[in-house]
Amino acid sequence: MTLRDRDDPAGAAERHRRALLRSEERLEEAADEAIRSFLRQVQRSITPRALTAATSDLFPRATELFTLGQAARWWEEAVDENIAAEVAAVWRTGYFDTRDGTLVRSSQDAVSGYLANVRDRLSRTATPTLPEAAFDKARVALAAETARGSSTRELSRRLAAEFGWDEDATFWRGRKEQATRSISDILDELGPPGTEAREQARLNDPVVRELQRESAEATRHIDRVQSEWQTRAERIARTESCGAYNAGALDAGRVEGAGVKVWLATADDRTRESHLEASNACAALDDYFNVGGASLEMPGDPSAPPGEVINCRCTVVFADSCAEAAELYPVISPLRAEQLARTEDSES
């Protein structure tokens, strides 16, 4: 067998962890560009004519801006153009990190099948999908701005903020200042701070309460460290890199005829308790690991419950038998893993 971890089994977990981090960085760039491309398509659809049509009736219609079907098509195109090739590269990284040798024909078919599932998952089965999230943002923004009597210009600025890659704090600072001024205008007519009439209005006046709600909403947007879209890109990168890397590794283990597979967790305070408990678990190649009550073929298994997959950093290694695996792959304590992580941070 030419399983690479046999040359340095004690360092297998750390070697795979570093490779997975490098893969995640590359995939995050691809996910960033995919989402940026999608958002540009959304923004191009929000024309003055579309805004007028969307707000021409009593009830605003987000479908006049874009439909969910259109958004789904834009996202599928962005995934194909930006993410698919990088996921395939991560799959191959996991494969060649596991075995020395060429990519055999069956493995070429395996990576193609894996990519088809990735496209389907990112385009249709995430909860909510990115197109659904975009459509909901448009719908909520239309309803909110129409209810407050905003102009088309104001609505356009709100939508630009919602679909901007970076958090558009300028828009929300203006909204907060406007709400604050309006509250002061109402309360100042009732007397100086502390007077009973002013305090009653501050606590109970429905107009003041609505303005306070708007101010709080603006504050939440201003305080947000990064946009929802950036968070999505990070989640895609972490989740898909783990699944693709380990899928490639698992295929390499099969090609080499390994007898068993072993789950190795990144043992630190960021790791789920269920993944720590699964660490060093051993199973036949075609069997499943029991992780948090769920059956996973490998870390990052795309068919597993999201709670056991999203942001996973675990990896899979191989041996001839579970007895051999117990000798080859030592359990890394959380303390040791933390020391390794600190060392890596200081070197980067």
pLDDT in tens, the chain (348 residues): 578 888 888 888 888 888 998 999 999 999 999 999 999 999 999 999 999 999 988 889 999 999 999 999 999 999 999 999 999 999 999 999 999 888 898 999 999 989 888 888 888 777 789 999 999 999 999 999 998 889 999 999 999 988 988 766 777 788 888 889 899 989 888 888 878 888 888 889 999 998 998 888 888 777 665 678 988 999 899 889 999 999 999 999 999 999 999 999 876 667 888 888 888 899 999 999 999 999 999 999 988 888 888 888 899 999 999 999 988 887 755 555 555 455 555 554
- ∠ CA(84), CA(128), CA(33), 5° rounding? 35
Secondary structure letter of residue 287 according to DSSP: S
Contact status, residue 249 vs residue 315, Cβ threshold 8 Å? yes
Distances (CA, A) of 98 to 83, 106, 250, 255: 23, 16, 8, 10
CA-CA-CA-CA torsion sign (125, 131, 134, 136): negative
Distances (CA, A) of 285 to 86, 159, 256, 317: 26, 50, 11, 10
Strands annotated E in the chain: 260-264, 282-284, 289-291, 294-296, 315-319
- What is the chain's alpha carbon radius of gyration, rounded to the nearest angstrom? 26
Contact status, residue 268 vs residue 258, Cβ threshold 8 Å? no
**pTM value > 0.75:** yes
